Structure 1
């Protein structure tokens, strides 16, 4: 999900592992020096908030809709605003964390995220809530790379390996834990609690960081090397694209409203491409786009994440509005999906050296497609055990191996010194895929404000998921047959350390 899903264990965000070894404060302690785990605990506490907030609103959606009179399009913007801004600014956030003081960047991101959470908790209109979600996402884009950079600079040797494994575990549990946590908070208090809970955590983490994390010397001439124009063009282009997709629901595919938004999105994205060729330090160096394995794997990552996050978004509405599950029960009903993803990912890690990433992805796509087809056949009088659970099982069994294998396939032609940037690009694909997936499936589903609309909409949307997963076989076939020698089997975060 990210969704920060199991793939998020791949590698540190942009540019971190290639710099971490020679950060000034990393050199202050010899490799054998053990450092207290306090800094890791603080960074993980912040990252848990970021990861949970991708999916924590899913279960709260019906309650929010009742209070704030949401339309179908507002539903998807509550998810999309967060993942679009976190994904769109992630590469810039990684660059900022490399060029400036990591602690200051982390605290800036944390403050923005916490303030966004507080505003979201008090929101009394859909627009305020969506804008607050966007602020949370922008904060996450600064916070996450800086947190990873602090972890890499603080720990070394075996401690660093343990820290990265812990980081990966937090990422893996993200989606399902968010849905469950959202269900518990919404049931015990109300939907506003899913946002307010971040405020005391954010304040406590900030206080801890001020005491425990030292300032690092600022790198010179950093300001001139930031491609802010590229990041702004990318984010505004993506927001406009999602708006164009969403407006097909209310205005139709050929309405002037939709066509103007689509045209503007095309102009902004073209501007982004032109900008990247012209600036001195582009967000993504042009040569990166020529690495076929990375581009193909990132495309598959975006598609798979879009399918999974979209499926969770639709299913959480279906379980509550059609099956009548409470918010807490809905959270619990997602646990089998998380379990199947986790177990199949672990099995895939063992099988990877023998089978290869390309075959694992292809098999995973076929199994996940079967899961989407099962979910497309649920009707207005369903049972969770006989109709929904088998679909969740197949979806999870297909998705788990893909997240492991995509991480490895992406790195097969990437030099170790480029691994930070490459993983950052893949994480960006993950976030943007989530936003576009939710927007596209909402457009396909149509009216999600009534039980009848959700039932017929889910049928069409899950069919679209199945077709989309089959289409991902095309970029999968473009992946190289070999896996990288420098990546330990089953671990995406081995390169570059």
Structure 2
């Protein structure tokens, strides 16, 4: 056994060490967003090039989750955790010293390689270090740190960029990484390695390329809203990824020592954990992207003010840490996970009802509370259910798979929610401008094309651009501005309905997938 029934004080230092790593790796998913304007000005680069600073991290991160988990099982989780922690820390230092956009994109990929290991291995290390009720509490803390790091990204980024410059968002990781590495070496106990097992190199290669193609296809769709799903830039990647999934399943089912033991998917509880993780990524973490744009670009809050307001959601992770951990051990996942997902769905429906064309965020407070409660309760429950439903030697593999589902759900959600929002945005831009009879036809056509090309994120920026200054002199400019604002709000209503549907459907499915009987550690 990799853990004893009695939890020692040293075990809690292990939790501190891995949580430091998780905090850094997930913080860097969102912290860079608020620094993009400064980076663009510094490197004088285009917005499409700038997007790859985010996409490079997302792509490499998703690709490496499964691979690093398997390497941890083969060669030791502590060894691989320390290696990936070192890679992440050095990658952060390199990012802070980048002298061009291309260098920064490359070093972000290096960062993500380390970040994927920190996320995936940390969950399996926590699960193997703790047992019984202590495991539920520890995974609750781990999940809460993961929630907080993602939500605090814009706030931390805003503070660092405002106080120093964009390089500070990467440089701050270096001392934290060094501290985490020292603690990891001192406190983490090496896991039992899998001996006398042939390494499934082909499975590793196929799984890596498979995830790469699927995520890259979604990124292509996200970056080019004018591309249809049948556009070869998108469809070739998605179809290639699906074909490799089939090849991977066939291959793994025939090997004696596969990269992923597909028998874990015969466990209904594990499948439920994967579905819940996908729904959480697609329904909440992807939603944060569009919520942030609403608060900043349309309600007019700064990055720092937006981050502070979103603390109402992430703050529950801190408050409910002990409660979530204990409840995930005492309440059956059949009720805990499905109930938490449905609570999030209800929050989306409440936001859909209360969100008018108000310029204040206070109408969203009831929904924010439900988002926070749901997120704080469901994350540790998913982790606990996933590792409790498999054999001890499958913990590393199961944590990697669940994290891939969560990350893929986030990437998929960003694209689907983006398409949902953009369709409504375009429709209401067209109908709204057509109602302004004073606007000349040629000006209407030019403005429509400009707003469509910029996309919903930059609608307000188009109106405030130098090329649109003439519009400000028009007596009906306020009507034009209202059309753009209302179009985004209409889009957000569709996004909220989509998220609510996803959460409620996933909650119902999970209710029937999870067994009613008590789990056995």
Q: 1:463 aligns with which of 456, 473, 497?
A: 497
Is 1:233 matched with 2:209?
Answer: yes
CA pair 84-472 structure 1, distance change in 2 beyond 3 A: farther
Q: Does structure 1 conserve the Cα–Cα contact (< 8 Å) formed by 2:140 and 2:321?
A: no
Structure 1 partner of 2:90: 115
Per the TM alignment, residue 197 of structure 1 is displaced from its structure 2 partner at its CA by 1.4
CA pair 117-325 structure 1, distance change in 2 beyond 3 A: same
- Superposition map of 1:144-163 within 5 A: 144=119
CA distance in 2, matches of 1:234, 1:41: 34
CA distance in 1, matches of 2:150, 2:503: 20
Please state whether the residue corresponding to 1:484 is helix, strand or coil: coil
CA distance in 2, matches of 1:151, 1:71: 40
Is 1:185 matched with 2:160?
Answer: yes
Q: Does structure 2 conserve the Cα–Cα contact (< 8 Å) formed by 1:21 and 1:153?
A: yes
Q: CA RMSD in A?
A: 4.2
Is 1:329 matched with 2:338?
Answer: no
Per-residue Cα deviation, 1:91-126 (whole angstroms, up to 9, x for no partner): 322222232255543343123212332343345666
- Superposition map of 1:274-313 within 5 A: 274-313=250-289
User: Higher mean Cα deviation, 298-307 or 350-359?
Assistant: 350-359
Q: 2:371 aligns with which of 381, 384, 395?
A: 395
- Superposition map of 1:208-223 within 5 A: none
Q: 1:384 aligns with which of 361, 367, 379?
A: 361
Q: 2:112 aligns with which of 137, 143, 147?
A: 137
Structure 2 partner of 1:472: 506
Structure 2 partner of 1:449: 458
Q: Does structure 2 conserve the Cα–Cα contact (< 8 Å) formed by 1:121 and 1:192?
A: yes
- Superposition map of 1:65-84 within 5 A: 71=47, 75=51, 79=54, 81-84=56-59
CA pair 265-324 structure 1, distance change in 2 beyond 3 A: same
Structure 1 partner of 2:72: 97
User: Which has the larger share of helix?
Assistant: 2
CA distance in 1, matches of 2:134, 2:223: 49
Per the TM alignment, residue 316 of structure 1 is displaced from its structure 2 partner at its CA by 1.9
Q: Does structure 1 conserve the Cα–Cα contact (< 8 Å) formed by 2:91 and 2:107?
A: yes
CA distance in 1, matches of 2:107, 2:121: 21
Per-residue Cα deviation, 1:215-270 (whole angstroms, up to 9, x for no partner): 99987666735542243233323323323532551323343433333322323333
CA pair 122-296 structure 1, distance change in 2 beyond 3 A: same
Per-residue Cα deviation, 1:433-457 (whole angstroms, up to 9, x for no partner): 2222223323433422233475554
CA distance in 2, matches of 1:249, 1:389: 31
CA distance in 2, matches of 1:353, 1:257: 46
Higher relative contact order (CA 8 A, sep 6+): 1
CA pair 323-186 structure 1, distance change in 2 beyond 3 A: farther
CA distance in 1, matches of 2:60, 2:185: 26
Unmatched tracts of structure 2, length 5 or more: 423-454, 461-483
CA distance in 1, matches of 2:136, 2:265: 30
Corresponding residue pairs, total: 460
Unmatched tracts of structure 1, length 5 or more: 1-17, 23-30, 487-494
Please state whether the residue corresponding to 1:224 is helix, strand or coil: coil
